[in-house]
Structure 1
Amino acid sequence: MTSAKDTVRQFLLQVRSGQHPNRADRFMADRVLAHQVVSEAPMVVERTPQQYAEHVQEMLDAYGPFTLTLDELIAEDDRVYARWTHIGRHVGPIDHYQPTNAELTEIASAVYRVEDGLIVEYWIQIDRHGIIAQLERSTTQR
């Protein structure tokens, strides 16, 4: 059986990276609880592998083909912590910001819970303020 750490590594490198979003069902349970860790408005979204693949496609539409560098991966029992850097170009609308073609960097981390070789739950944090600052800068430099 694949370890929890290997499951998350392959999920990030194949699916979250935008390389093969359609492979989400190889790494995710039929229903996954996605905890959006946001100080002012935490929420939990239930996602299917198909919905996650669509979510990655939305990222590709906004950032174009992007790179995802896995900066850290730490595992203990059924939990895996991952931190990554995502770099793309602002080629599609993001919130109310129209495309500028500027390079955008997203830094994010998540803790994944894996059962029987599949991701069943995760808690994700994204540097949203950093993304907004980059979008603001790119729109004023046009």
Structure 2
Amino acid sequence: MSINPYGDRLFAEFYTCNDPDVAARLAQERLADDFVDHSPVFGATPDKAGFTRSVSFINSAFRQDYHVERTIEQGDTVVAIWSANGEHVGQFMHVAPTGARFRLKGITAYALRDGRITAHWEQFDVLAILMALGIVPPLGG
């Protein structure tokens, strides 16, 4: 029996809604009040408010098409192996929108309780974003 009531949407909708307000609403609806983010990004706090700000920020800086390639469920944990195509459409790390496109891959895990997310772990190719925006020079260049 699946513990994931959302299917692949659990992972994709936070990032492919491409609307900061919708992303924030989804986070508020889907995260438990005692949520802990074990992989906060972009200076976020490791709690529900920080994750909500992160997904809102990501949706304001990038337009993404996010694909879940595989999900694995064990106990109360759901893991997604994913890839995304992105486009830089808003301010990111003091860089104005460039329209630069990039592709990245990552792995995200959520712990779930009663259909709500209680914890988050994630690793993704941040370097691909930084190189696409010219923040980090291409490797070997």
Query: What range is the shorter-chain TM-score in?
Result: 0.7 to 0.9
Are 2:79 and 2:108, in contact at CA under 8 Å, matched by a contact in 1?
yes
Partner of 1:17: 16
Post-superposition CA distance 1:48-92 (Å, at most 9, x none):
4xx54443221122113x211111111011111112222221121
- Alpha-carbon distance between aligned partners in 2 of 1:44 and 1:59, rounded to the nearest angstrom: 15
Count of aligned pairs between the two proteins: 132
Are 2:45 and 2:51, in contact at CA under 8 Å, matched by a contact in 1?
no
Aligned residues with identical type, % of pairs:
23
Greater helix share, structure number: 1
Q: TM-score, normalised by structure 1?
A: 0.74
Q: Give the direction of change, closer, same or farther, for the CA distance of 1:37–1:53 in structure 2 (3 Å limit).
A: closer
Aligned: 1:83 with 2:81: yes
Q: TM-score, normalised by structure 2?
A: 0.74
Q: How does 1:53-132 map to 2 (within 5 A)?
A: 53-64=52-63, 66-132=64-130
- Alpha-carbon distance between aligned partners in 1 of 2:34 and 2:131, rounded to the nearest angstrom: 34
* Unaligned stretches of 5+ residues in structure 1: none
Counterpart AA for 2:91: P
Counterpart AA for 1:30: D
Are 1:89 and 1:104, in contact at CA under 8 Å, matched by a contact in 2?
yes
